[in-house]
Structure 1
Amino acid sequence: MKNALITGSTKGMGRSITISFANEGLNVAICSRNEQELLKFKAELQTTYPDIKVFAKVTDGSNKAQLLQFAAAAEQELGFIDVVVNSLGSFVPASILDEGDDVFTSQLNTNLMPAYELYRHFGKTMKNARKGHFFNICSVASLNPIAAAGAYSVTKYALLGLTKLMRYEMQEHGVKVTAVIPGSTLTDSWKDAVVDKDTMVLPEDIASAIINIYKMSTGANVDEIIIKPAPGQI
Structure 2
Amino acid sequence: MKSALITGATKGMGRAIAIAFATEGVNLAINSRNADDLATFKTELLQINPAIKIFTAVADGSKREELLQFAEGARRELGQISIIVNNLGMYKYSKILDDEQGLFGKMIDTNLMPAYELYRFFGKEMIATGRGHIFNICSVASLNPVVEAGIYSVTKAALLSLTNTMRLEMQEHGIKVTAVIPGSTLTDSWKGQQVDKDLMVLPEDIASAIINIYKMSVGANVDQIIIKPAKGQL
- By the TM > 0.5 criterion, same fold? yes
Give 1:78's aligned amino acid.
L
Q: Deviations over 1:62-100 (max 9, x none)?
A: 000000000010010000001000000010000000010
Measured in 2, the distance between the counterparts of 1:139 and 1:117 equals 20
The alpha carbon displacement at 1:128 in A equals 1.1
Instruction: Report the equivalent of 2:56.
Output: 56
The alpha carbon displacement at 1:167 in A equals 0.1
Q: Which runs of 5+ in 1 are unaligned?
A: none
Give 2:94's aligned amino acid.
A
Instruction: Report the equivalent of 2:144.
Output: 144
Give 1:10's aligned amino acid.
T
Give 1:226's aligned amino acid.
I
Measured in 2, the distance between the counterparts of 1:94 and 1:48 equals 39
Give 2:111's aligned amino acid.
N
Give 1:167's aligned amino acid.
R
The alpha carbon displacement at 1:14 in A equals 0.2
How many residue pairs are counted as aligned between the two chains?
234
Instruction: Report the equivalent of 1:223.
Output: 223
| 1:17 paired to 2:17 | yes
Q: TM-score, normalised by structure 2?
A: 0.99
Instruction: Report the equivalent of 1:100.
Output: 100
Instruction: Report the equivalent of 1:201.
Output: 201
Instruction: Report the equivalent of 1:119.
Output: 119
Measured in 2, the distance between the counterparts of 1:191 and 1:100 equals 21
The alpha carbon displacement at 1:49 in A equals 1.0
Identity %: 66
The alpha carbon displacement at 1:47 in A equals 2.0
Q: TM-score, normalised by structure 1?
A: 0.99
* Alignment RMSD (CA, Å): 0.5
The correspondence of residues 152-231 of structure 1 with structure 2, limited to 5 A, is: 152-231=152-231
Q: Deviations over 1:128-171 (max 9, x none)?
A: 11110000000000000000001101100000000000000000
| 1:87 paired to 2:95 | no
Divergent runs of 4+, >3 A = none
The alpha carbon displacement at 1:189 in A equals 0.4
Give 2:148's aligned amino acid.
A
The alpha carbon displacement at 1:191 in A equals 1.3
Q: Which runs of 5+ in 2 are unaligned?
A: none
2:32 and 2:57 in contact (8 A); partners too: yes
2:4 and 2:28 in contact (8 A); partners too: yes
Measured in 1, the distance between the counterparts of 2:48 and 2:201 equals 25
